[in-house]
Amino acid sequence: MKLAKRIMAAACAMTLACSMAACGSNSGDSSSEAKVAKMNEEQRNQVDALKDKLPDTELSNKTIKWMAHYDINPSEGKAESPAITLFESKYGGKIEFVQTTWENKYTDLAKAVMANDSPDFFPADDMDAFPKGAIKAMFEPIDDCIDLDSELWAGSKQICDSFIFNGKHYVAGIDVRPQYVCVYNTKTMTDYGYDDPAELYANDEWTWSTFTEMCLDFTDAEADRYALDGYWYGKALNDTCGYPLIGLEDGKLVNNMGRAEIATVQDLMYNLEKNGVVFPRCDNNWKTRGDGANGEGLGSNLTLFIPIGTWALEDTLEKTKTFGDVSSGEVMFVPMPRMDDSDKYYVSTGVQGYLLCKNAPNPEGFAAYMNCLRVSNEETQNIGEEQLKDEYGWTDEMIEMRKTIYDLARTNPVYDFEYGVTAELSTLMDTVNQATMVTGGGATTWTECVAENEKAVDYLINEANSNISDTPTE
């Protein structure tokens, strides 16, 4: 699990403009700073022109403190951020990195708040901070410092509305973040005579039936071929039904385990596992193929699909070579398949967003940086795309598919809050998530899983909801 957490940590540093930062890097290291992929003059001029779209605020405190297990400042091997560049040029702003670890981030935040030494902002991307951070008074509403009804925030107001507690907005949602895409190697598809999933998607034929047929045909344990690998196929496949296991409706948490749609998709998942299509991590120290490297098996044509975030491909060619040769068009991805009886491709969705910490020393600076993020997200899409092509070797087809999946996530999002409630619920949902697809012969039917776990999940959800009032906070 630590490997999975470390991989996920890298995902959260990716903004839509691809300012992905290495976990734990120190932006103050001048030797690393020299190796940052800088914007060219035309791109910098484009960013500079956005200053007129921002409020003319003179910040009394130009430094905002960012606490996370990764730094958002540009670091070695990563691309320069238009939003941070804009924050610096418009407001003279600076982001101070307060480093923590994945395991200790909430403990460290609590200590800082109690010691009256709060940072200003904290990541919402992992979907594990809300609503528990609001319930425990670790964060403050953003309504008093950000005008969500302004023209500047019109494009993401709906996203922010998905994260309401006690009638107040807690997440400054810059944009959605598709949690998983279905990554594959085009050479493998050609070698085995399969239709390219991107073409199937274009023809609206990328369905569960087609996906299952390909998985069953490809899998051959004696040849060490397995259709699925990775850490997140269970969650990615579940959400194709359109419902998360734990949702949030009208400001209340909802347990969806009993929904017929989830039962249908979990039965399909169980049948895949019973047919042995998943790489047996139980025989590999619970790691993915190889030593747990991203993409291992795709490049060697031993794995058919890996559900993972696009962040895994938003890196150097050296680091993505296990998937195949990105620059030659060998690597491609599509949304997870749609259910056969559905007319929509639902997307497991997170949020590219931020939380204002309790007693933040500089909420004004936080708001200014959030505004920079919103403007740059709306106006500098091309810079991110150019960086993907120039720095990471992406093809035009990959760029277009990325746009498509982001649009799907905005239209058909599936937000799952199972890791944002309590540690007890997170642990229990780890069991629920892998019940029908755990390798090593341990898979159970969804009916059995519900019978064993639904009441316990209901109890924890009801307990959390008892702390959520229908009355807006003052």
Interstrand relation of 121-123 and 347-357 (parallel, antiparallel or unpaired): antiparallel
Interstrand relation of 413-414 and 347-357 (parallel, antiparallel or unpaired): parallel
CATH, residue 453: 3.40.190.10
Q: Identify the pLDDT of residue 31.
A: 35
CA-CA distance, 449 to 270, in Å (whole number)?
Answer: 11
Is the residue at 332 inside a domain?
Answer: yes
The pLDDT tens digits of the residues spanning 285-326 come to 888 997 666 789 999 999 999 999 999 999 999 999 999 999
CA-CA distance, 315 to 338, in Å (whole number)?
Answer: 28
Q: Are residues 146 and 266 in the same domain?
A: no
Predicted confidence (pLDDT) at residue 35 exceeds the cutoff of 70: no
Q: Are residues 390 and 451 in the same domain?
A: no
- Where is the domain boundary, 391, 411, 431? 411
Task: Taking residues 2-26, report their average pLDDT.
Answer: 34
Task: Taking residues 27-55, report their average pLDDT.
Answer: 72
The pLDDT tens digits of the residues spanning 73-96 come to 987 656 788 999 999 999 999 999
The pLDDT tens digits of the residues spanning 418-434 come to 999 999 999 999 999 99
Q: Are residues 238 and 334 in the same domain?
A: yes
Q: Are residues 213 and 288 in the same domain?
A: yes
Q: Are residues 280 and 174 in the same domain?
A: no
Q: Identify the pLDDT of residue 294.
A: 76
Of the candidates 188, 187, 206, 207, the residue with the CA atom closest to the CA atom of residue 197: 206
Is the residue at 449 inside a domain?
Answer: yes
Task: Taking residues 240-244, report their average pLDDT.
Answer: 97
Q: Are residues 163 and 189 in the same domain?
A: no
Which range has the worst mean pLDDT, 175-184, 371-380, 433-442? 433-442
- Where is the domain boundary, 382, 411, 440? 411
Q: Identify the pLDDT of residue 166.
A: 86
Q: Are residues 164 and 45 in the same domain?
A: yes
The DSSP string of 111-144 is HHHHTT---SEEE-TTS-STTHHHHTT-EE-STT
410 within 8 A of 344, measured Cβ to Cβ: no
Q: Are residues 430 and 281 in the same domain?
A: yes
Q: Are residues 187 and 124 in the same domain?
A: no
Q: In terms of residue numbers, what domain contains 208?
A: 181-347+414-465
Higher pLDDT, 250 or 264: 264
Is the residue at 471 inside a domain?
Answer: no
Q: Are residues 65 and 29 in the same domain?
A: yes
Predicted confidence (pLDDT) at residue 7 exceeds the cutoff of 90: no
Task: Taking residues 383-394, report their average pLDDT.
Answer: 92
